[in-house]
Amino acid sequence: MGYRRHKLAFSLLFALCLRVVAQLQSTPEPDISAASSVRSDIDASTHTFSARAREVNVLFSASNWRDQFVSNLKPSDVRVFDNGKELLSLTYFLHETDLPLRVALLIDISGSVEKLFRSQQQAATLFLQQTLRPSDSASVIVFADHMQVVQDFTSSLETLTGSVQRLKPGQEETAIYDAVRNACEKLGGEGDGSTKRRALILITDGDDNTSRLSIADAIDAALEHEVVIFALNTHPRPQDTDPTLKKLTESTGGRVLHAYSAGQLKLAFGKVNEQLRNQYLLGYKPPRWQADHSFHKIRVATSRFWLHIHCRKGYYAIE
């Protein structure tokens, strides 16, 4: 009798296991390319994100022919390419305006910018007041022949604006590329595992005369640490230095803005703020991944007419 009961119990358990397996096999895979998909490691309430291994996350923005940023793109509006190979699906796609911002103001204090320096201070102060939110942090860094951190990263507006107002120009030499590389490394050094919008706002006339590093070194540092560079060109003849600054910024998804007058400075900072607050975040698993430190080109294209995508040009395959 006991044997039959045990035999019956075993048969019922075996049948239950078969049923569970069948249900799991018949459950369809989720559509991870949908705009509404939110992975379990994205917390929508705190806007924090923890990257999975071998996953690339890309921040980008889109502007129309009037240089206005658009905020209504859908996953079906974009195509993403990794080393020329189009991706068939995305892990996620979010219009993320509230992702924490980590920004560094990198200010040229060489003698060539002295005439406009007071206007720079006023515009930078206004930018910080209008842009930073409690979840954001910023740093104030100056450079001439070398870089100096005037104020480390903080969320205190009073501390930041006070440090900007105390700056003074007057040094002779200018090492832009050295300063950009060092600032990008500092921006990427928080090490807390979360995704932030890292932005470097470079205020300079673009005349580099003493850097030990090259512009390629500066760009590599920005791409490695996922930093978007904006250059506010204060040169009286911006056409002289625009080509160099465009090379530096556009590879990272940033841009050059003219800032030779007080009015231009205010408009330029306004454009930076607008772009930072109108960004998209997408993620994907790169095809044929190998952690060999090779450079992978990223291209984000759109089927919408008259739109320009601002996006970093690639990443290094590092585990």
Give residue 5's pLDDT. 43
pLDDT tens track for 20-32: 334 434 434 334 3
Whether the pLDDT of residue 194 is over 80: the answer is no
Whether the pLDDT of residue 196 is over 70: the answer is yes
Alpha-carbon distance 121 to 167, whole Å?
8
Give residue 129's pLDDT. 92
- Phi, psi of 179, rounded to the nearest 5 degrees: -65, -40
pLDDT tens track for 41-100: 333 333 333 344 578 989 999 999 999 999 999 999 999 999 999 999 999 999 876 778
Q: How many angstroms from the chain centroid is the CA of residue 315?
A: 12
Give residue 290's pLDDT. 81
pLDDT tens track for 134-167: 989 999 999 999 999 999 999 999 999 999 999 9
Alpha-carbon distance 278 to 63, whole Å?
9
Give residue 26's pLDDT. 41
Place 288 in a pLDDT band, splitting at 50, 70 and 90: confident
Give residue 191's pLDDT. 55
Q: How many CA atoms lie within 13 Å of 190's alpha carbon, on the beta-carbon side?
A: 22
- Token output for 220: 């590599």
Give residue 140's pLDDT. 97
Whether the pLDDT of residue 275 is over 50: the answer is yes
Residue pair 202/224 in contact by the 8 Å Cβ criterion: no
Residue with the larger pLDDT of the pair 3 and 83:
83
Give residue 15's pLDDT. 46
Residue pair 131/101 in contact by the 8 Å Cβ criterion: yes
Domains of the chain with CATH codes: 101-276 (3.40.50.410)
Whether the pLDDT of residue 287 is over 70: the answer is yes
Give residue 41's pLDDT. 36
Nearest to 185 by CA among 132, 234, 139, 224: 224
Average per-residue pLDDT in the chain? 83
Read off the pLDDT of each residue in 236-256 and give the average, rounded to a whole number. Answer: 95
Strand pairing category for 314-316 and 92-95: unpaired
Whether the pLDDT of residue 192 is over 60: the answer is no
**Entry field: residues in the chain:** 319
Residue pair 140/121 in contact by the 8 Å Cβ criterion: no
